[in-house]
Amino acid sequence: MEIREIKRNEYHLLDDFLYKAIFITENEIAPPREVTKFPELQVYIKDFGKFKDDIALVAEVDKRQIIGMIWSRIMNDYGHIDDETPSLAMSVTKEYQNKGIGTDLLKELIKILRKKNYKKVSLSVQKDNYAVKLYQKIGFKTYRESGEEFIMLLEL
């Protein structure tokens, strides 16, 4: 497995990984695929790459199959803290989950954000999502709670 920066011709995959990032409990029915077209989700991917704060990494196997993605940008999303703090989103395909790939992607993105002199990074995660433990292990702290979600913050 290799972690690398996303290529421009792969930006279209952000939509797929955004859909995969939607947390669905075992008892829930997955939303329709078109949900990523809603304005509150489009903020994560619309015009990606056009802004200096847009950063994305992919996890790739066999030099051709992208199995995970993490990206950040300054946006007014669910995890928004302020206009200087990028928010992140990430997803790993189901068959590759629980293999440390999400942790590796997260650590690489954090290195890049530090090099670019960001002071913090935020995210929104549902309280029932198993990824909460991953974020806590990396050092994210709960910034605030909102209904079923944690807004988490990592000081860089």
Cβ within 8 Å of residue 52, ≥6 positions away: none
Mean pLDDT of the region 111-117: 98
Cβ within 8 Å of residue 90, ≥6 positions away: 17, 21, 68, 69, 70, 71, 102, 105, 106
- How confident is the model over 60-71, as pLDDT tens digits? 999 889 999 999
Percent of the chain with pLDDT over 70: 100
CATH of the domain at 39: 3.40.630.30
Domain enclosing residue 114, as ranges:
2-155
C-alpha to C-alpha distance for 58 and 112, rounded to whole angstroms = 13
Answer yes or no: are the C-beta atoms of 10 and 58 closer than 8 Å: yes
Answer yes or no: are the C-beta atoms of 102 and 92 closer than 8 Å: yes
C-alpha to C-alpha distance for 26 and 99, rounded to whole angstroms = 21
Q: At what angle do helices 131-138 and 101-115 cross, to 10 degrees?
A: 40
Q: Strands (DSSP E) along 9-100, which ranges?
A: 55-61, 65-73, 87-92
Count of positions (residues) in the chain = 156
- How confident is the model over 127-147, as pLDDT tens digits? 999 999 999 999 999 999 988
How many structural domains comprise the chain? 1
